[in-house]
Amino acid sequence: MGLTRVSGLLFGGDYNPEQWPEHVWDEDVRLMAEAGVNMATVAVFSWSRLEPRPGEYDFGWLDRVMDLLHANGVAADLATATATPPPWLVREHPQVLPVDATGTRLDFGSRQSYCPSSPVFRTATVRLARAMAERYGDHPALAMWHISNEYADHTLECFCEESARHFRRWLRERHGSVDGLNAAWGTSCWGQHYTAFDQVNPPRKAPGPVNPAQLLDWRRFCSDALLECFELEREVLREVTPEIPVTTNFMSVLHGLDYWKWAGAEDVVSDDAYPDPADPTSHVTVALSYDLMRSLRRQPWILLEQAASAVSWREVNAPKPPGMMRLHSLQAVAHGADGAMFFQWRQAKYGPEKFHSALLPHGGVASRGWRDTLALGADLKRLAEVAGTPTTAHVALVLGWDSWWGLEAPESMPSNRLRLKELLQAWYGPLHAAGVAVDLVPPLGDLSGYRVVIAPNLYMCTGEQAAWLEAFPGHLVVGPFSGVVDSDDQVHEGGAPGPLRALLGVTVDEFWPLPEGTVQPLRLAGRVVPARTWAEWLRVEDASGDTLGDAFGGTEVLARYEGGDLDGQVAITRRGKAVYLGCLPEDVTPVLTEVLAAAGVEPVAVVPEGVEATRRGDHLFLLNHTTDPVKVDLAEPGTDLLTGRDLAGPIEIPGRDAVVLRLANSGARRTDTESPLTNEGER
Ligand SMILES: [Zn+2]
């Protein structure tokens, strides 16, 4: 199945015409056409307007919107409108409203006011999704289905009785019997032995720390429960409109939902990303999200939402200075997006997001924002041939949600300072700076094609996962506090890294978490550098457990601690092609440089600091995230698609500007500018 019916790169945004009188709509679509908008996301929060009373539909206004869009060359990413139930549903059935961990039922008046397990809610969403599919399935504007919106943004979990019953059914499925559950959860601890499933509750607010195994299953359950909601709607859409692709907009690297599982249930991955303009490193953080989105289905994805300038939900909402909106949009494309879309088209007049920027700002067509919108639309058209082109990476970062959930369980860990996103970024940052392309992979994912695999943290590691890493023929890097527990969050006996001990040739004698403000120095690449957050007392031994000396028996010591409590102890080791770090050095670049060189991994391009280089097919993206001009020496000549100029040798890229080169020497070029994801010709 294709991505959408639209060729080239997607450009547009969320469009909420129901917030405006109809005479404004004509101006909207005229300006959309002027800006080159080719897709609009509609009806995301329209349930109460589309179904004002139970089973009574008012589609007239949306019919007119869909017709207007189509008449102006704009395709619809049509929402099923189920993101927020209407007032009549929650008043008639208060049990639809979610309940928090203290037992408080949250009231209507915001959004996502639903219990994911509520049969009343689920039945109502499926009924609306069917009505939408039957109404608009044949509409020529319909290009993609957009189920719900930003799942888990506000409502990830509900602790009501209905959710408790659902959780028990899920647990019975997973553990088979209550004895199975007792064994998995280790309920002999603190006298929690259950004799029936109906004694088991969600991890509601309790007098002290909750059983971490119960919490882990709850995290799994909550991701699955929302996924069921998604799948119920998707089944209806597939039945009525099998040819229309289905997505739901993800929220970058989100803790609450296992996006590997979710991506497998949709036809195309889309993401909402809001890098903070005030954070000078936000383009690095967001690049990791984009690489994850591309990796989830190993195909191009859609940036479905970003801000044209400021958002409305931070403490201080910094605007994007000139050039940043364009640069960040091009960055998404550089990382595999086949579209750069926005929340939202026209800036709202009321509501919590009235100060959230938009493609068409309050100031109208005279504003800086509107000029930027016109310019970006033109730029994305110039890049049409990039749509559908692939990204090749030889380095993969391992990210698994089960392990993440276990790692960040509150109140029972050696340290709450080990945060997975930070551990990922500790490796991703230097890779990004070095211009090395990176994919993400799930535990047990396909590793063919990769030369280097980095597991920044694999707290939870099963025997099967250890065998998966052992079978990888390339270079492996494993970060600290890995191989600690099994899939039930039970500690591997004999010490960490548990099933990875034979592969890595080390055993953790004792964890050595570092309180904030303290460091454990180590000597790395000839310098003494601090490890922050975490260290370990390591024993170097072979698989049989015999302690060995430096560079002996296969396990080499790459770095030792110098000073501090762990003075002289082993910090970083290597056995064969497998490197283990028992700490998190302030900068992992020296380790990375050596591994990349040994694996023969080359950067996409050699670029100065602050410049990002990525490649899609025959296209080289060079993005200058600094405010100053930079010089880049091109290894290959090419044509800059943004300016049409032929470039070679040393070039200058102005501050917050970009070059997208179609490389001249890359063999046969695409003549077909249509995305391979396209399932119909040009609209
Ligand atoms: Zn509930």
Q: Residue 98 Cα, ligand 1 centroid: separation in angstroms? A: 5
Average the pLDDT over 161-184 and give the result.
Answer: 98
What is d(CA 379, CA 530) in angstroms, rounded to the nearest whole number?
Answer: 45
- Tell me how far apart the alpha carbons of residues 216 and 212 are, in angstroms, rounded to a whole number: 6
Cβ–Cβ < 8 Å for 653, 629: yes
Question: What is the pLDDT averaged over residues 455-461?
Answer: 98
Which amino acid is located at 47 in the chain?
W
Reported as a single tens digit per residue, the pLDDT across 31-49 is 999 999 999 999 999 999 9
Say whether pLDDT at 139 is over 50: yes
Q: Report strand pairing: 630-633 vs 650-653.
A: antiparallel
Tell me, what's the pLDDT at 85? Answer: 97
Residue 548: is its pLDDT beyond 60?
no
pLDDT at 544: 53
Ligand 1 centroid distance, CA of 667 (Å): 57
Q: Which residues are catalytic?
A: 150, 305
* DSSP structural state of residue 365: G
Please determine, for residue 672, whether its predicted confidence score (pLDDT) is greater than 50: no
Say yes or no to pLDDT of 679 above 70.
no
- Which residues sit opposite 342 in a β-bridge? 13
Q: Check residue 553 and give its pLDDT.
A: 58
Question: Looking at residue 209, what is its pLDDT?
Answer: 95
Average pLDDT over residues 635-642: 97
Give me 277's structure tokens. 């303009």
Region 640-666: mean pLDDT is: 96
Q: How does the average pLDDT of the chain come out, rounded?
A: 95
For the entire predicted model, the pTM comes to 0.96
Q: Would you say residue 543 has pLDDT above 70?
A: no
Strand positions, DSSP E, 251-381? 270-272, 301-305, 337-342
Q: Is the pLDDT of residue 252 over 60?
A: yes
| Residue 247, beta-bridge partner list | 146
CA–CA separation, 193 vs 586, rounded Å?
44
CA atoms within a 13 Å half-sphere pointing along the CA-CB vector of 569: 23
Question: In the prediction, which pLDDT does 674 show?
Answer: 40
Q: What is the mean pLDDT of residues 474-493?
A: 98
Please tell me the distance from the alpha carbon of residue 108 to that of residue 92, in angstroms, as a whole number.
12
Alpha-carbon distance of 643 to 379, in angstroms, equals: 9
Is pLDDT of 683 > 70? Answer: no
Percent of the chain with pLDDT over 90: 94
- Residues sharing a CB contact under 8 Å with residue 492, sequence separation 6 or more, in sequence order: 461, 483, 484, 485, 486, 498, 499
> In which residue are the tokens 């500790």 written?
426
Q: Is the pLDDT of residue 675 over 90?
A: no
The pLDDT of residue 419: 97
Q: Provide the H-helix boundaries in 434-518.
A: 463-470, 501-504
| pLDDT digit string, tens, across residues 117-136 | 999 999 999 999 999 999 99
| Rounded average pLDDT over 646-669 | 89
What values do phi and psi take at 666, rounded to 5?
-95, 25
Half-sphere exposure of 64 (CA within 13 A, CB side): 13
Q: Give per-residue pLDDT as tens, 571-624.
A: 999 999 999 999 999 999 999 999 999 999 999 999 999 999 999 999 999 999
pLDDT-derived band of residue 542, with 50, 70 and 90 as boundaries?
Answer: low
The rounded Cα 206 to chain-centroid distance in angstroms is 32
Which tens digits make up the pLDDT trace of 63-98?
999 999 999 999 999 999 999 999 999 999 999 999
pLDDT tens-digit series, residues 297-356: 999 999 999 999 999 999 999 999 999 999 999 999 999 999 999 999 999 999 999 999
Ligand 1 centroid, distance to 128 Cα (angstroms) = 21
Query: So what's the pLDDT on residue 546?
Result: 52
Find where tokens 């019975």 sit: 172
Per-residue confidence band for 4, with pLDDT thresholds at 50, 70 and 90: confident
Residue type at 316?
Answer: V
For residues 287-305, average pLDDT: 98
Distance separating the N- and C-terminal Cα atoms of the chain: 17
578-581 and 611-616 strand pairing: unpaired
Tell me the CA–centroid distance for residue 222 and ligand 1, in Å: 10
Is the model's pLDDT at 440 over the cut of 50?
A: yes
Q: What are phi and psi for residue 450, nearest 5 degrees? A: -95, 145
Residue 61 confidence (pLDDT): 98
Instruction: List pLDDT tens digits, range 194-240.
Output: 999 999 999 999 999 999 999 999 999 999 999 999 999 999 999 99
And the tokens for 343?
């929340």
Q: How high is the pLDDT of residue 5?
A: 79
pLDDT at 551 over 70: no
Distance 163 CA to ligand 1 centre (A): 4
Q: For residue 104, how far is its CA from the centre of ligand 1 (angstroms)? A: 11
The answer to which of 14-23, 214-223, 660-669 has the lowest mean pLDDT is 660-669
Average pLDDT over residues 24-37: 98
Residue 8: the pLDDT is 95
Contact of 604 with 435, CB cutoff 8 Å: yes
**What 3-state class would DSSP assign to 403?**
helix
Q: Strand pairing partners for 531?
A: 520, 585
